[in-house]
Amino acid sequence: MRDGGAHLNYSVYHDRYRRTSDGWKFAERVDEVKYVDTTRPAGSARGSERES
């Protein structure tokens, strides 16, 4: 992120589909988050230094 923060997550989508005349469509999507890591990474991102 621009502020140097980070966000990593692993999740599973639980999808339900519905058949329509146009083909299969999403009826519902539920995102189940399994793991979240908001630890700030070491170092700095390329291009994050500002010129004065």
Residue 27 is assigned to a structural domain of this protein:
yes
Residue 29 is assigned to a structural domain of this protein:
yes
Residue 50 is assigned to a structural domain of this protein:
no
pLDDT tens digits for range 1-52 = 777 778 899 999 999 999 999 999 999 999 999 999 988 777 766 665 555 4
CA distance 23 to 3: 43
Radius of gyration of the chain (CA): 19
Residue 14 is assigned to a structural domain of this protein:
yes
Residue 48 is assigned to a structural domain of this protein:
no
CA distance 5 to 32: 23
Cα-based distances in Å from 2 to 6, 28, 33, 51 = 9, 33, 24, 15
